[in-house]
Structure formats: structure tokens, C-alpha cells
Amino acid sequence: MRRRRSRTRAFGPFASNPTSALMRLGTLLIVLGLIYSWASKPQSWRWLEDNAPGAADGQMALAEMGPSSGGPSTEGTPVAKPAVDETVVAAPTDVDPAEREQAQHLFEAVSDKTVLAPEEMAAYWRLMKWTRAQTFAAMDHRAARDVPRLGLLEQPERYRGHLLRLRLHILRILDWEAPKNSADVKRVYEAWGWTDQSNSLYVCAFTELPAGMKTGESQHEEGVFVGYFLKDLGFQALMRNHAAPLLVGRMQRAESSAPAPLVAESDWHWLWMGALVFVAISFVFAWLRLRRVRPATVAAPTAADEAEMEDWFRSEGTADPIDPAHHRDL
């Protein structure tokens, strides 16, 4: 008697056929698209930079810190500040050789990668005084561009007291009431942020908040800062010691919007929408194929089959095992 074997057909969204190969290729392309979108953002590689936290780490670090100069931070909902005009107070600046020489003696008390100490405040207020004696445009004309952050960390003495220009992506702005000082400053603002050249933090102190900017712990502002480099400010965050260049100067609000986050929202939306559409189409194809697949059926035995089986059982005990006829019946 001949044995009937039933073979099942492979089915499903990843069966071995050209359609499943196309599905696997599409899935691979979606994964590669997500990886490319993540890797194409400079912020994605901030973890490679040493000595200071990146922008992502910086946001967590900022939550643990107060103002660098020890002033009280503003609590509550950020409030929009009124427009201000540049206030210029007549005073000598670093252009004066005598003033510059006096400042060098004050800079000798400055230590890097430490908190702002009381003995360093004389140099701090001297830089603030220079700033208030000039307009933003005047300082911008003399400021150095694209100074590497690594240079400020490794050779702070070289840049101390020099004008630098930063395009800053601001993460937070704090304000505090200043104690009595030689620059006659009443309130100080601090902007913490990063630049296109470095994803690590900078601290920029100024006395006049640009129109439209707000104070608060979580900000997404764009600014152009021109100021004097004082020191590498040390602070602790995320159980580690970090340092951020501290500058004193003037801030202007940039017109363009804040930079895109780690992966742009629009990129995520388009990629995930494409992935969902692809998965939906894959399941529709799988369902249609499943409907077309018919289960393998085994025919019911006929009377001739039953008679043949009974004859085989009767002859099983008497047939010669090597009889060709016996094996042919099987």
C-alpha cells in the first residue's frame, strides 16, 4: 500500500519567496534610515568629547547646579523681560595699557577648574566694568572668532582677559542680584549653552537681557555673545568634575530659531510613519496569502483500500520475507 505524505506550504510575511525578500530589504532600509538620521546629527557624537559634559549631559548637569557666582536663582515660571537698550558707562577698558597692566595683577589670583572664589571677584568685576564701557559692536569688532574650546581648557592663561565671540545655543538663563561691586552692577544674568564647534557647556555672564529672552532653567534660545574670558569654571555634576569656560560680556539675541535636537522631530515622524505603513502593508499581504493557502487534505479510505489492508494483515504471518511479490505489495 502506498503511503500518502502531506506537505505544508510555507506562508507568512517572511516566507521564502520574492515577496519576503522584498519585505526584508524594506525593513533593512528603514533601520538604515533611522541609523543615518541619528548619526548625521553632530550632537549624537557629543559623548566622544572629554573634559566636559555634552549638551545632553549638560541638561542633566544644569538641573543639579545653581548660579556659578553663588547668587540665588530665579524660581517659578520664566517671565519675559522688557526690551533694554545698551547702557554704556564711561570707564577705561583693556585698550588702555595701564588698565591692562592692573588687570594682569588681578588675573594672578584666578584659578582654573575651580568654583568662582571670593579672591577672584575683583577680576570678575573688572571685566564687567570693561564690558559696560563699550557697546556690543565695539567689542565684536575686536573679538577673536572660532577659538577652540580645548584651547581655553588647556591654555587658559593665553586667553585670559581677551575678547572672544560665541554663537551660543542657550539651554538656560539664570539671574541674580549682585552684591556691592566696583562695576556698580545691580543684576547679573548667566547663560549656559553650547556652540556649533563644541557640544560642551559655556557660561556667559552679562548685565542686560536682550529683548524677547526669558530667564529659566529650561530654555531653547539662540544668542551671539561677545565677552572676556576669565577662567575655566569648575563644577560637579553627574558624580563627576567638569569645567566650562566662563566669559563676561554682552549678549544679543540671534534671529534664527534654535538648532534641531539630537534627531530632528520631523525626521522621526517621517521615518516612523514610513515604518508603520510598511508594516501594515506587510501584514495585509500576509493575511491575503494566508487566505489563499488551503490546508492539505487526505482522502478518506475507499472499500478497495480496506480490502487491500485486510489481505495484507492476513498474509503478514505466512508471506516469505524475501518474496519479491510480498515487497511489491508493499
CA–CA distance from 224 to each of 238, 290, 323 (Å)?
28, 62, 102
**3-state DSSP call for residue 244?**
strand
197-215 core/surface letters (b: 16 or more CB in 10 A; e: else):
ebbbbbbbbbbbbbeebeb
Burial class (CB in 10 A: 0-12, 13-18, 19+), 81: middle
Residue 8 backbone phi and psi in degrees, to 5: -90, 140
Closest CA to 110 of 155, 156, 42, 52: 156
154: amino acid identity, one letter: E
**In sequence order, which ranges of 45-96 are alpha helices (DSSP H)?**
55-63
DSSP classification of residue 80: B
- What gap in Å lies between CA 51 and CA 301, rounded to an integer? 82
Segment 129-158 shows an average pLDDT of 95
- Quick check: 163 pLDDT over 80? yes
pLDDT digits (tens, 9 = 90+) for 58-86: 444 444 445 565 444 434 434 434 445 78
| Predicted local confidence at residue 82, as pLDDT | 41
Between CA 242 and CA 151 the distance in angstroms is 16
Using DSSP, state whether 279 is helix, strand or coil: helix
Q: What is the pLDDT of residue 32?
A: 73
Name which of 174, 93, 166 is nearest 131 in CA terms: 93
Q: What percent of the chain is predicted at pLDDT more than 90?
A: 44
Predicted local distance difference test score (pLDDT) of residue 307? 75
**pLDDT at 59 (0 to 100):** 46
Q: Where does the pLDDT of residue 243 fall: very low under 50, low under 70, confident under 90, or very high at 90 and above? A: very high
Q: What's the count of helices (H) and strands (E) in the chain, helices before strands?
A: 10, 5
pLDDT of residue 281: 75
Q: Report the DSSP beta bridge partners of residue 11.
A: none
pLDDT at 254 over 60: yes
Q: How far is CA 160 from CA 100, 231, 258, 325, in A?
A: 11, 7, 29, 108
**What does the pLDDT look like over 5-59, one tens digit per residue?**
445 454 444 445 555 666 666 777 777 777 766 666 555 554 454 443 444 444 4
In this structure, are strands 240-253 and 202-206 parallel, antiparallel, or unpaired?
Answer: parallel
Which H/E stretch holds residue 300? none
Question: DSSP secondary-structure letter at 77?
Answer: S
Q: Which triple of cell numbers denotes residue 124?
A: 570678575
Amino acid 293 reads V
pLDDT above 70 for 294: no
Q: What is the mean pLDDT of residues 289-314?
A: 67
pLDDT bracket for residue 270 (50, 70, 90) = low
Q: What is the pLDDT of residue 56?
A: 43
Give the residue from 304, 316, 235 showing the smallest Cα distance to 61.
Answer: 235
